Amino acid sequence: MKNRTMRSNRGVWMVTAIAALVTVFVQCMQQPAAAGTDLRGAGYAGAEACRSCHANIYDSYLHTAHNRSTAPANEGTIKGSFERDSNEYYYQPHVKVAMERRDSGLYQVAYLNNQEQQAFRFDLVVGSGRKAQTFLYYQDDKVFQLPVSYFVPMQRWANSPNYPAKQVRFDRNIPIGCFECHSSYIRRTNVSAQDGFRVDHFDQGKIIYGIDCERCHGPAAQHVQFHQANPTEKTAQHIPVQASLTRQQKMDVCATCHSGLRESIKPTFRFTPGAQLSEFLPPDTTKPDPNAIDVHGNQVQLLQASACFENSITMDCSSCHNPHTTERTNMAVFSQRCMSCHQQSGNAFCPKEKELGAGIRANCIDCHMPAKESHVISLQSQGSMQPTPNLVRTHLIGIYPGEGNRFKKL
Alpha carbon distances (Å) from 236 to 217, 218, 228, 232, 321: 12, 13, 12, 11, 22
Number of domains in the chain: 1
- The whole-number pLDDT of residue 116 equals 98
Determine, yes or no, domain membership for 350: yes
pLDDT at 389: 80
Determine the pLDDT at residue 36. Answer: 52
Q: What is the DSSP string of 239-308?
A: S--GGGS-HHHHHHHHHHHHS-----SS-GGG--TTS-GGGTS--------GGGS-SSS-HHHHHHTSHH
pLDDT of residue 250: 97
CA dihedral 8, 14, 18, 20 (to 10 degrees): 90
| 134 in any annotated domain | no
User: Rounded to a whole number, what is the largest CA-CA distance in the chain?
Assistant: 99
- Give the structural domain span for 395: 286-410
Burial grade of 11 (CB within 10 A; 0-12, 13-18, 19 or more):
exposed
In a domain, 10, yes or no: no
Tens-digit pLDDT profile for the chain (410 aa)? 444 444 445 544 444 444 444 443 434 433 444 445 899 999 999 999 999 999 999 999 999 999 999 999 999 999 999 999 899 999 999 999 999 999 999 999 999 999 999 999 999 999 999 999 999 999 999 999 999 999 998 899 999 988 998 899 999 999 999 999 999 999 999 999 988 889 999 999 999 999 999 999 999 999 999 999 999 999 999 999 999 999 999 999 999 999 988 889 999 999 999 999 999 999 877 777 888 899 988 999 999 999 999 999 999 999 999 999 999 889 999 999 998 888 877 788 888 877 877 778 889 999 999 999 988 887 777 767 677 788 899 999 999 988 877 766 54
- How big is the chain, counted in residues? 410
Position 167 in a domain: no
Report whether 130 contacts 152 (CB < 8 A). Answer: yes
- Looking at the chain, the whole-number percentage of residues with pLDDT higher than 90 is 69
Q: Which residues pair with 190 in a beta bridge?
A: 201
Q: Is 12 helix (H, G, I), strand (E, B) or coil?
A: helix
Task: Answer whether residue 319 is part of any domain.
Answer: yes
The per-residue pLDDT for 349 is 85
Residue 286: φ, ψ to 5°:
-85, 165
For residue 1, how many other CB atoms are within 10 A of its CB? 5
User: Within a domain: residue 183?
Assistant: no
Are 67 and 326 spatial neighbours (Cβ–Cβ below 8 Å)? no
The reported pLDDT for the residue numbered 228 is 95
Going by their DSSP bridges, the two strands 142-145 and 183-194 should be labelled as unpaired
